[in-house]
Amino acid sequence: MDKYEAYEKLGIERDVYDFCEACEASLKDRFESVDEMAEINQMKVLEAFRREQVQEACLMGTSGYGYNDLGRDTLERVYADIFHAEDALVRPQITCGTHALALALMSNLRPGDRMLSASGRPYDTLEEVIGIRDSAGSLKEYGIGYDEAGLKEDGGFDLEAIRDLIRPETKLVAIQRSKGYSDRRTFSVEQIGECIRFIRSVRSDLIIMVDNCYGEFVEAIEPTDVGADMAVGSLIKNPGGGLAPIGGYIVGKSHCIENAARRLTSPGLGREVGATLGMMRDFYQGLFLAPTVTASALKGAVFAAALYERLGFDVLPDGSEERYDIIQSVTFHREDALVSFCRGIQAASPVDSFVVPEPWDMPGYDSKVIMAAGSFISGSSIELSADGPIREPYSVYFQGGLTWPHAKYGIMNSLQHIINDNIIDRNKLR
């Protein structure tokens, strides 16, 4: 069997295969750069494992209260090492990225305080956490105010707007690294560092929190390397390496982490409790694999950008830009194309490949969302997945791929579905 025959068995036609192979051949230098970054980050992770003396006993779990959990406490030191932070909270009791962000905010803000978003409107699921959209238990309901500095026309930070919105009551400034469901570019760690330095020049006592979701191990440094007090993320994205079945992390300054631990459990107990229930092996092994898994997802994103750009669609980032997260958006300007793309990704999945995704009213979003994610871990977006809100301009957001061959096939199959649905003229492949 040659390589094309393997793809043909999975429904890829010859003209689609040839078009995609030509696209991949043009990306050799980009892929080498991605592999080099993975190697740098792999050594960083290995160094932290060795320094903190990870041992076989760390891979066992605890039950009940979880007192004296060697694996949990060592893993948190490993995360603090990797992120060059004072401390870390890494727990299966943190259910998702939104929960991790809510925990970081709610534990470090008090009634009468204000928070400022320095990167424009935050991701949809944080709107109810903050109270932009009314919701029981929001920061707004607890008397915590909110301000928002929009971005400049070029997508950069509006430093003067940030300065003007820092009030005496402002206690925390939030920066979202990735773009979420918006058309801006993802911020590099260097850009975040420049913004942090500016904020410090205005008020040195502010807590600066970075939503780090989708950005871990894409660059050689993380937001805590450039002055962030907290970096926050999900273990079913990059740092879980596709093995962590649940969980989130907060890394940063010790007092911020202690506040978060007390909020996660209770005052007086803090980080001393929280059983790991047999998950530690997956947490450690997933973190060890995370740099190379992230590299596979990055290759998939670069491939998707180059392929759909060749077909004339608007893509962000484009096929030649530097990458600062694993997300790739493609704008179709039509609902049927968005739906067809997602169905192609679902059909390429190892789990639930037979399921046909439909738009639905997903909790935390203000419009219908279509999601394709036939993953081993439910909702894991380091695995091959795609989603998008059913609203103009009908953009899809593609991310993940535990291996490069699977990410590649997913994109090929998305194109095959769009061709089969007569959304793209087959002649464009010639």
Q: Are residues 334 and 404 part of one domain? A: yes
Q: Are residues 249 and 365 part of one domain? A: no
For 230, half-sphere exposure in the C-beta direction (CA atoms, 13 angstrom radius) is 31
413 domain residue, yes or no: yes
Residue range 348-404, pLDDT digits in tens: 999 999 999 999 887 777 789 999 999 999 999 999 999 999 999 999 999 999 999
Q: Are residues 219 and 144 part of one domain? A: yes
pLDDT at position 179: 87
229 domain residue, yes or no: yes
In whole angstroms, what is the distance from residue 75 CA to residue 65 CA?
A: 18
Which tokens is 232 given? 């926050």
Q: What is the pTM of this model?
A: 0.96
Sequence-ordered alpha helix ranges (H) in 52-179: 70-82, 97-108, 124-130, 159-165
Last residue of some domain: 224, 256, 277?
277
Residue range 196-217, pLDDT digits in tens: 999 999 999 999 999 999 999 9
Q: Are residues 215 and 85 part of one domain? A: yes
* φ/ψ bin of 327: left (φ > 0), alpha (ψ from -120 to 50), beta (otherwise): beta
Whether residue 181 contacts residue 362, with contact meaning beta carbons closer than 8 Å, is answered with no
Domain that holds residue 20: 3-41+288-429
Q: Are residues 399 and 253 part of one domain? A: no
Q: What mean pLDDT, rounded, does the chain reach?
A: 96
49 domain residue, yes or no: no
| Cβ atoms within 10 Å, residue 195 | 25
In whole angstroms, what is the distance from residue 394 CA to residue 264 CA?
A: 37
The CATH number linked to 90 is: 3.40.640.10
55 domain residue, yes or no: no
For the chain, how many structural domains are there in total?
Answer: 2
Position 316: which residue type? Answer: L
Whether residue 364 contacts residue 98, with contact meaning beta carbons closer than 8 Å, is answered with yes
pLDDT at position 49: 98
Q: Are residues 253 and 110 part of one domain? A: yes
Q: Are residues 268 and 125 part of one domain? A: yes
170 domain residue, yes or no: yes
pLDDT at position 25: 97
357 domain residue, yes or no: yes
Adjacency order of strands within the sheet including 314-316:
314-316, 328-331, 395-399, 385-389, 369-372
Last residue of some domain: 277, 300, 320?
277
In whole angstroms, what is the distance from residue 261 CA to residue 271 CA?
A: 5
pLDDT at position 363: 77
The CATH number linked to 324 is: 3.90.1150.60
Which tokens is 392 given? 């103009």
Residue range 15-33, pLDDT digits in tens: 999 999 999 999 999 999 9
54 domain residue, yes or no: no
34 domain residue, yes or no: yes
Q: Are residues 222 and 166 part of one domain? A: yes
Q: Are residues 234 and 367 part of one domain? A: no
Q: Are residues 313 and 264 part of one domain? A: no
Over its length of 430 residues, how does the chain's per-residue pLDDT go in tens digits?
A: 799 999 999 999 999 999 999 999 999 999 999 999 999 999 999 999 999 999 999 999 999 999 999 999 999 999 999 999 999 999 999 999 999 999 999 999 999 999 999 999 998 889 999 999 999 999 999 999 999 999 999 999 999 999 999 999 999 999 999 987 788 999 999 999 999 999 999 999 999 999 999 999 999 999 999 999 999 999 999 999 999 999 999 999 999 999 999 999 999 999 999 999 999 999 999 999 999 999 999 999 999 999 999 999 999 999 899 999 999 999 999 999 999 999 999 999 999 999 999 998 877 777 899 999 999 999 999 999 999 999 999 999 999 999 999 999 999 999 999 999 999 989 889 8
Q: Are residues 295 and 257 part of one domain? A: no
pLDDT at position 180: 79
Last residue of some domain: 232, 251, 277?
277
Q: Are residues 21 and 152 part of one domain? A: no
